[in-house]
Amino acid sequence: MQPGSKLKFLLIAIHLAQIEAYKQYSKEFTMLMIKSSCNLSRFMCPRQEYFDINTLRWYEDRLMKSEVMQKTLSGGMKSLKHAFESLKEEFCCTEGPCLNYCNIFEKKEISLISKFPENVDAIFSLGIPKIEKHREEVYKYLEYIKAHGSNPRHHFPAEIEAYFDDLSDQQHLIHPLLSLRYLQEIQGIFNN
């Protein structure tokens, strides 16, 4: 650390501790929280009713009139974390058409990925080597989500993302083989 930076750090830490103790935030600090919460680099877009995408400016008058902002400024938040979460929920969007406002478009996954984990057994039953190498990690992950629940925002570990990448690369083989298997099953039903 540079000389003087320890003192700056200490002063900021004391200020944050005071804010946390009183749970009342200044307008400037609250605006900083909003701007850092609705960060385009994290695929969060400011809600259109509070932000002008053309000028990249917040409508401060609208922000100030919101119930969440009033509660934050008056000290009605339980903690700094709660304030951040409340501001983010009110002023930012993370999915759906709202993101289009910021030119962020949702990526539509191929059917093999969107049907995960329901199709795992059928896909592994095909014995495709490039897919087969993921078997252990995929089943480990399935055990984990069975025990702990799945993430509703569909964030997956790197090993599962690698499996998805290989599903995409091999879909030209997987789809016909799954279709063939399905037809064989139907034919077996009618032959019995």
92 & 120 share domain:
no
Q: Which domain holds residue 185?
A: 111-191
Among the listed ranges 25-34, 37-46, 53-62, 64-73, which one has the minimum average pLDDT value? 37-46
Structurally, how many domains does the chain consist of? 2
Q: Mean pLDDT over residues 10-38, rounded?
A: 67
Q: Give, to the nearest 10 degrees, the angle between helix 27-37 and helix 80-91.
A: 60
91-111: string of b/e by CB count within 10 Å (b at 16+)? bbbeeeebbeebebeeeeeee
90 & 142 share domain:
no
**pLDDT range class, residue 103, cuts 50, 70, 90:** confident
97 & 172 share domain:
no
DSSP state of 106: P
pTM beyond 0.85, yes or no: no
| Among 13-17, 38-42, 61-65, 103-107, the range of highest mean pLDDT | 61-65
Q: Mean pLDDT over residues 53-65, rounded?
A: 89
Which tens digit of pLDDT belongs to each residue from 18-31?
545 445 677 888 88
Please say if the pLDDT value at position 75 is more than 60.
yes
98 & 144 share domain:
no
Q: Mean pLDDT over residues 129-156, rounded?
A: 86
Write down the pLDDT at residue 21: 46
Please say if the pLDDT value at position 133 is more than 90.
yes
42 & 94 share domain:
yes
Which tens digit of pLDDT belongs to each residue from 158-175?
999 999 999 999 999 999
**pLDDT range class, residue 122, cuts 50, 70, 90:** very high
Write down the pLDDT at residue 37: 80
88 & 118 share domain:
no
Are 167 and 174 in contact, with CB atoms under 8 Å apart?
Answer: yes
121 & 83 share domain:
no
C-alpha 111/C-alpha 178 separation (Å) is 12
Q: Mean pLDDT over residues 100-122, rounded?
A: 84
**pLDDT range class, residue 45, cuts 50, 70, 90:** confident
What is the DSSP track for 38-94?
S-GGGT-EE-TTTEETTTTEE-HHHHHHSHHHHHHHHT--SSHHHHHHHHHHHHEE-
* Other Cβ atoms within 10 Å of 63 Cβ, number: 21
Task: Mark which of 71, 102, 133 sits at the end of a domain.
Answer: 102
Give yes or no for a cis peptide into 97 (omega within 30° of 0): no
19 & 90 share domain:
yes
Task: Mark which of 102, 126, 159 sits at the end of a domain.
Answer: 102
121-129 contacts at long range (C-beta below 8 A, 24 or more positions apart): 122/178, 122/181, 123/167, 123/174, 123/178, 125/181, 126/173, 126/174, 126/177, 126/178, 126/181, 128/170, 128/173, 128/174, 128/177
